[in-house]
Amino acid sequence: MIRLVLFALASILFVAACQTDPLPPPPPPPPTTCLSDEDLSAITYAPVSYEPAIPTNFPPLIVPPDNQLTEKGVELGRKLFYDPILSADSTKSCFSCHQLGKSFTDGLAFSPGIDGTLGERSSMALVNLGFTPGPFFWDGRTNTLEEQALLPVEDPVELHDSWENVVCKLSNHSEYPELFREAFGISNANEITKELTAKALAQFERTMISGDSRFDKVIYEQQGFFTDDEWNGYQMFFDLATGVLPDAECGHCHNAPLFTTNQFRNNGLDEVFDLNDFPDLGLGAVTGNLFDNGKFRIPTLRNVALTAPYMHDGRFETLEEVIDHYNSGGNYADNLDPLIYPIGLDSTQKAQIFAFLHTLTDLEFTNNVEAFGNPF
């Protein structure tokens, strides 16, 4: 009897083993982590608020409640900004495309990533971003500075790494765990995240405040004078001398004190008769709204003399070309901004606008290596 039962069991097992159903996929491998588990709790965490010097004529700094500026947070952000640890092959950092002397641009139409591949848009000046309610980037693809700081690391034409890898590198670094502890109060190196990294970068970016140009000194501080050409350029820029000088229509999109209105406009770079035909859809690719196609963020004109080439694609090498473009009335599209039309400036007046734009250069900012320079 026992043999009969054993035979029956063996037969069942045999039949089951011979079924042709596909094997279930192997279970996912257990999560591997390269995060260090270094205990940081013995390191002092005593955050001290960082109070940037804000020009009195500027709007309030926009700081999210969960990322208040601290001295250690800004210090960490600055270090990360300049550290090629954020790139896959440790050759490039934020600094590669955002250099202090060029008002945190790089002088190129398109910047090469770590693989040598060129990006599709010119790097934007990182100036007064803390006063920008967003959205950010030329196309407005992120709403906050913290979100903005997340993207370049994984962009294949920029730093081309993965956040998982970057966080592992930071977690195992000889200094960063302590710096993250001091900035954010984490108690273990395995608590370093991409979000904290982005927060630190955003803190540093919010300290990049430029408001000490000759324009500021003359207009807001009543120190010194414009030259005649600068004065006439100023009058035309803001339409202050109607009947005497033409309205150059600049100030509407580049209003003081930030010299941007943080809006997105089609400024007539490309002539299209079908809004789908823009070579770069810009904001439209983000919103999906046809009438947003070909619109780009209005950049600040602070330090504009240092940020060539110009426009989202760096098509204009010089400020003279930019002025000529606006003077011409730009190119037609159905969503061409109504402020873009032939201005009629003569050569003297264009030179005066050029002279005024140079008064927006803030060398106190671009030479401030102590606050913004490479800490390495």
Partner 1 sequence: MKYLSLLIFGFALISISGCEEEKGPANLQLVFKGLFDGNTLVLNEDNTYVNGIPMRMSHLQFYIANIELKGDFGTIVKDIDVVDFSQNHMNAATAAQGETMTFEDVPPGTYTGLKFGIGVPPALNSMQPAEFAVGHPLSNTADHWTAWNSFIFAKVEGRSDEDDDGIFSGSILYHTGGDDLYREYENNSGFILVEGETTTVTLTLDALELFYTATDTLDIINNGVSHTTPSDQVSVDISTFVMDNFIRAINVE
Which residues make up the interface to partner 1 (CB under 8 A)?
Answer: 56-60, 62, 133, 238-243, 247, 251-252, 255-258, 261-263, 273, 289, 291, 332, 334-336, 338-341
Closer CB to partner 1, 41 or 68, in the complex = 68
Element (H or E) spanning 264, and its range? strand 264-265
The closest alpha carbon to 323, from 372, 356, 363, belongs to 356
The CB-of-268 to partner 1 minimum distance in angstroms stands at: 11
Closer CB to partner 1, 55 or 84, in the complex = 55
Token duo for residue 17: 């083993």
The CB-of-302 to partner 1 minimum distance in angstroms stands at: 13
Closer CB to partner 1, 64 or 156, in the complex = 64
Closer CB to partner 1, 83 or 337, in the complex = 337
Q: Count H helices, E strands: the chain?
A: 14, 2
- DSSP bridge partners of 231: none
The CB-of-240 to partner 1 minimum distance in angstroms stands at: 5
d(C-alpha 68, C-alpha 49), whole Å: 8
Element (H or E) spanning 90, and its range? none
How far is residue 158 from each of residues 137, 214, 301, measured CA to CA in Å?
A: 14, 35, 25
Neighbours of 283 (CB within 10 A): 25
Neighbours of 344 (CB within 10 A): 12
The CB-of-348 to partner 1 minimum distance in angstroms stands at: 21
The CB-of-294 to partner 1 minimum distance in angstroms stands at: 13
Closer CB to partner 1, 119 or 251, in the complex = 251
Closer CB to partner 1, 33 or 57, in the complex = 57
d(C-alpha 229, C-alpha 226), whole Å: 8
Element (H or E) spanning 78, and its range? helix 71-82
Closer CB to partner 1, 168 or 285, in the complex = 285
The CB-of-320 to partner 1 minimum distance in angstroms stands at: 24
Closer CB to partner 1, 21 or 66, in the complex = 66
Neighbours of 61 (CB within 10 A): 15
The C-alpha R_g of the chain, in whole angstroms, comes to 27
The CB-of-340 to partner 1 minimum distance in angstroms stands at: 8
Neighbours of 214 (CB within 10 A): 20
The CB-of-66 to partner 1 minimum distance in angstroms stands at: 15
